[in-house]
C-alpha cells in the first residue's frame, strides 16, 4: 500500500488548468523531491495534498484512505511552507505545542513532544523566546519543529530553505537528511535547487506546465532523462 497516492489530479483556477492529470504514488518512508520551473504547479499540488485547495477532479489517498474531501486537519500530514509564519505573540515553545493543543493532545504529551523536537533541532535555548527575537534560520528551525512535533504519515515541505542564506541552507539540508534517516518518515519536498534534489531524494518528480514529465530515482532522472527539458533542468551530461 502506498503512503501517498495521487490519482489523475486536476486543478483549474478559472479557465486555467494548473494541474493536468497528475498521478504519483510513493511508498512509506520515501523522500520524494518535486522539481520544476516557477509557475508549473508545484505549490498547487502541495496545497491539494494538504487539503488547502480542493481539487477539480481526481483522488488523493494517504495510507490507503481516500482523503480527497477531507479538511487539512483531518489528513494525517504536517507541512512546512516557504513563508513559515510563526505566531508572533507566542513563544517558541507555544508555537511548537499549539498544533498539538488544537488536536487535544494532553499536556504531558505536548511537553514531551516539545522536548523531543528541541533536542532534534537543537533549539533548547530558544524555547522561551518570541519569533521577533529569532534570526531567519532559527525561525525556520522552529517552523520545522512545529511540523515535527507531530508524527504524521506524510510531511510536506514547499521550498522550506529558499529564504535562507547559502551556508545555512547546506546545514539545514544535512539536518533534514539526518532527520529522514532517523525518523523514516514519508516526505514530499519541493525545491528548485538541483543539489538539494540530488542529495535528498529517493525519488524525483520533474514537473512542467501542470504535468509530471518523469518520476524516478535521482540516478535515472539524471542519467536517463526522458527529454531535453528534463536533461536541461537536471543539468544532465549530454
Q: Which one of 35-43, 83-91, 119-127, 129-137 is the stretch in contact with Mg ion (CB under 5 A)? A: 35-43
Min dist CB 190 to ligand ADP, Å, is 7
Closer residue to ligand ADP (CB): 30 or 43: 43
Q: Minimal CA–CA distance to 69: which of 51, 56, 83? A: 51
Min dist CB 15 to ligand ADP, Å, is 10
Binding of residue 72 to ligand ADP (CB under 6 A):
no
- Binding partner of residue 40 among ligand ADP, Mg ion, none, CB cut-off 5 to 8 Å per kind: ligand ADP
Residue from the set 41, 131, 216, 218 that interacts with ligand ADP by CB under 6 A: 41
Dihedral of CA atoms 174, 34, 131, 73 in degrees, nearest 10, equals -120
Distance of CA 24 to the CA centre of its chain: 15
Min dist CB 40 to Mg ion, Å, is 9
**Sheet strands side by side (includes 16-26):** 16-26, 4-13, 57-62, 65-66
Binding of residue 69 to ligand ADP (CB under 6 A):
no
Measured distance CA(238)–CA(67) in Å, rounded: 42
Residue from the set 33, 35, 42, 113 that interacts with ligand ADP by CB under 6 A: 42
Task: Check the CA dihedral 170-176-180-181 and report its sign.
Answer: positive
Closer residue to ligand ADP (CB): 19 or 118: 19
Binding of residue 43 to Mg ion (CB under 5 A):
yes
Binding of residue 125 to ligand ADP (CB under 6 A):
no
Binding of residue 43 to ligand ADP (CB under 6 A):
yes
Residue from the set 6, 18, 120, 176 that interacts with ligand ADP by CB under 6 A: 18
Report in angstroms the alpha-carbon separations of 135 from 56, 71, 163, 186, 218.
39, 32, 12, 28, 33
- Residues lying near ligand ADP in the complex (CB under 6 A) are found at 13, 18, 36, 38-44
Amino acid at each position: 500500500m502506498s503512503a501517498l497516492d495521487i490519482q489523475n489530479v486536476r486543478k483549474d483556477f478559472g479557465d486555467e488548468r494548473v494541474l493536468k492529470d497528475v498521478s504519483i504514488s510513493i511508498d512509506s518512508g520515501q523522500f520524494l523531491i518535486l522539481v520544476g520551473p516557477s509557475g508549473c504547479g508545484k505549490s498547487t499540488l502541495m496545497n491539494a495534498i494538504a487539503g488547502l485547495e480542493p481539487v477539480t477532479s481526481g483522488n488523493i489517498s494517504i495510507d490507503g484512505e481516500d482523503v480527497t474531501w477531507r479538511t487539512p486537519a483531518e489528513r494525517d500530514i504536517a507541512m512546512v511552507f516557504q513563508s513559515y509564519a510563526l505566531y508572533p505573540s507566542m513563544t517558541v515553545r507555544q508555537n511548537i505545542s499549539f498544533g498539538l493543543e488544537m488536536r487535544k493532545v494532553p499536556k504531558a504529551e505536548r511537553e514531551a513532544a516539545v522536548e523531543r523536537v528541541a533536542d532534534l533541532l537543537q533549539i533548547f535555548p530558544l524555547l522561551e523566546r518570541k519569533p521577533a527575537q529569532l534570526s531567519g534560520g532559527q525561525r525556520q528551525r522552529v517552523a520545522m519543529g512545529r511540523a515535527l512535533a507531530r508524527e504524521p504519515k506524510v510531511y510536506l515541505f514547499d521550498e522550506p530553505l529558499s529564504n535562507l542564506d547559502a551556508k545555512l541552507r547546506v546545514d539545514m539540508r544535512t539536518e533534514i537528511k539526518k532527520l529522514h534517516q532517523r525518523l523514516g518518515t514519508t516526505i514530499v519536498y519541493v525545491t528548485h535547487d538541483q543539489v538539494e534534489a540530488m542529495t535528498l531524494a529517493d525519488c524525483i518528480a520533474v514537473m512542467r506546465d501542470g504535468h509530471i514529465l518523469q518520476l524516478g530515482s535521482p540516478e535515472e532522472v539524471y542519467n536517463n532523462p526522458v527529454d531535453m527539458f528534463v536533461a536541461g533542468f537536471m543539468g544532465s551530461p549530454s
